[in-house]
Structure formats: structure tokens, C-alpha cells
Amino acid sequence: MRIVIIGAGAMGGTYGALMARGGADVTLIDSWAEHVAEVRANGLHLDDVGGLVHIEMPIHETLDRPGEYDVAFVQTDTNNRGDAAVTAKAALKPDGVALTLQNGIGNIEALVAELGAERVLGGVSYHSAFMHGPGRPAHGHAGTTYLGELDGRTSQRLQAVAAALDRGGLNPEISDNVMGIVWSKFIHNCALNPLCALLDIRIGEIPMHEGADMMQTKCVEEALTVAAAKNIRLATAEPLATIKAYTWKFSKPSMMQHMEANRLTEIDALNGAVVTEGRALGIATPYNEALTWMIKARNAQRRRVAAAGEIDYAALEAEAMAKRAT
């Protein structure tokens, strides 16, 4: 089985390295030129939870062998999911299958639009990873990788992908309700990511602030209303209680890391998606909408300063006063 990882950063690099170490035939694709050059020159160095892993792996900035892959793991950020779906279609054999482990919703739908539902697997990862630098992903936490056919059946191809994950130590678990698992993690991320990114606090600090805790509750309640209207069978019986119990953890969620790095966040695939889905169903989602707009504003401001330097507020005020005088 020939595997291609589309998006070989922190998570993609971790999955690719561990599956390759387990004996899988894995090729990486990533648009980060410095990362590609480093892996080509010195191999991929993974700071794994079980120790350092150094492995030589093929990596390319663009697709190298169109139509030759059996499985495409799509692990770009959600802002690039459309392009990644096109790449997956080009990479796969006629009977090949794509698996998305991306956060949020809309990722499965993007693949289905390109490939058709019969060639798409859904999944979520409860592993965590980050980058030390080009060629150096770090595996921060080893969790479970959930995956499943969209229609709930157990297929040979699903079992083959799970076996490759298992040999890599990525703890696969096949589910007959993968959309319920995707939506459960989606709501979990909606409850944690934007509040930490906006307020510059860790997950465990959310319940320490009454306003943050209440905003979290309201956002989750709206998302649960949307999920119920879509007849999504969530993976947890008490999702709000489960989220509240999770705040023993004091890590930085991915959106907070993206905000600090002045990268575009994935807000449109999280709270923004609650708004979009709710609007289609006639369900008001004002708390998620407010968080979405505030994250976009803060993200844009940070990126503006990172690109152009500190803002000259005195000059801006003088310009504004001059306009008022005319």
C-alpha cells in the first residue's frame, strides 16, 4: 500500500514518520520549501513521545507521482483543504481513498466534492504535535486516531489503513459513527480554541474567569442545537460536562499557537462553521458569530503588525483629524 501525506507539517510529519518507521511506504508533500529542503538533506527528525526518531523519507513540494497512490492522508490546515482535495484526487489510483484527520467540519465535504463519498474516509486525531523548526516535528501527546467509512461499514481498505496506523503506534480505532466523532471533536475545539486564542489564556484558565466560562457554555449550547437539528449522534452522552471536565489541562490549543505565530487561524472551520450550519437551518448562533468576528479581527491585526511593523498611531490620528477638517 502506497501512502501520500498531503501537508507534512507537525501532524502530517508525525504520522508520516511513525507509519514509515512501522514499515509503510510513505511519501510526504508540503509547500514549506525550507522544511522540504531540510528533510531531503538530513532526513526527518521526530521528537517523539517515546524518544527521538530519525528517518529518511521522500518529500516533495508538489505531487511527484500522479495516480500512483492507494491512500492520501489530508493533513493541511483547513484554509488549504480545497487545494488539498484537488491534490488528493490527482495523487490517487482510480480505486484509491482519501482520509482527512483535519480539525473542524467541511473537510470531509471538500473531499467528497472532489472524489465522491465512496472514496473518502473520515477521522479525527487525538494526538498533538508542533514544530521545532524545518524538518523537526515534535509529537507532544499520544492519543487515539479514530477513523471510519462514511456509511459506517467496516471495509478491507479501512482495515488496511488502520493496520498501517497501528504498526506506527498511532493507536487506531475504527468507528461505525465517524461523523459523530468528528462533530464531537469539532464542538470540543469550538469550546476551547477561540477563547484561548482571543484571551491569551491556557485551557485550564477558562473556568477561572466567569465571562470566559459563560461564553464557552453559550457557544457549546448553540453548537449542540445545530448538531441535534442535523441528527448527528455525538460520541459523548454529556458533551458540555465532558468539555468542562477537560479544563484540567493547561496546554495551548492549536488556534492559540496559530495566533501567536501570526498564521491564519482555522476559525471558519470551527465556530464560523457553527454559524454557517446554523444559518442554513434557521438557527441563531450569536455567541459563535461574535467569537468568529473577534478572532478574525485579532488575527488580522497581529498579521498586519507582523508584516508592516508597529503601528504609528500618532500618524493615524493626524490623518484622521486632517480628513475631519476637510
**Domain containing 273 — which CATH number?**
1.10.1040.10
DSSP class per residue in 70-135: EEEEE-S-GGGHHHHHHHHHHHEEEEEEEEE--SSSSHHHHHHHHH-GGGEEEEEE--EEEEEETT
C-alpha cell at 48: 517523539
Q: Domain ends where: 157, 176, 195? A: 176
Same domain, 237 and 159: no
Q: Residue 319 has what DSSP assignment?
A: H
Same domain, 12 and 156: yes
Rounded distance between C-alpha atoms, residue 323 and residue 326, angstroms: 5
Same domain, 60 and 140: yes
Q: Which residue has the cell 502530517?
A: 12
Same domain, 31 and 146: yes
What is the helix (H) or strand (E) element at residue 148, kind and residue range?
Answer: strand 145-149
Rounded distance between C-alpha atoms, residue 160 and residue 111, angstroms: 20
Q: What are phi and psi of 312, to 5 degrees?
A: -90, 90
pLDDT value of residue 230 = 97
Q: Domain ends where: 176, 196, 211? A: 176
pLDDT value of residue 59 = 98
Residue type, 274: V
Q: Domain ends where: 143, 176, 209? A: 176
Containing structural domain, residue 187: 180-308
Rounded distance between C-alpha atoms, residue 12 and residue 129, angstroms: 9
Rounded distance between C-alpha atoms, residue 304 and residue 312, angstroms: 12
Residue type, 54: H
Same domain, 14 and 157: yes
Same domain, 130 and 186: no
Prediction pTM value: 0.91
Same domain, 84 and 96: yes
3-state secondary structure of 33: helix
Tens digits of residue pLDDT in 172-186:
999 999 999 999 999
pLDDT value of residue 298 = 97
Kindly report the CATH number assigned to the domain that includes residue 33: 3.40.50.720
Which ranges of 200-238 does DSSP label H, i.e. alpha helix?
210-229
The low-confidence residues of the chain, meaning pLDDT below 70, are none
| Beta carbons within 10 angstroms of residue 264's beta carbon | 16
Tens digits of residue pLDDT in 241-300:
999 998 788 888 999 999 999 999 999 999 999 999 999 999 999 999 999 999 999 999
Same domain, 146 and 185: no
What is the number of domains present in the chain? 2
Distances in Å between the alpha carbon of 202 and those of 91, 195, 231, 249, 311? 39, 9, 32, 8, 28
Same domain, 135 and 255: no
Same domain, 153 and 299: no
Same domain, 16 and 134: yes
| Beta carbons within 10 angstroms of residue 241's beta carbon | 10
Distances in Å between the alpha carbon of 252 and those of 37, 124, 198, 206, 223? 29, 19, 12, 12, 22
- 140 within 8 A of 171, measured Cβ to Cβ: no
pLDDT value of residue 249 = 83
- How many residues would you count in the chain? 326
Beta strands 120-125 and 59-60 are unpaired
pLDDT value of residue 326 = 81
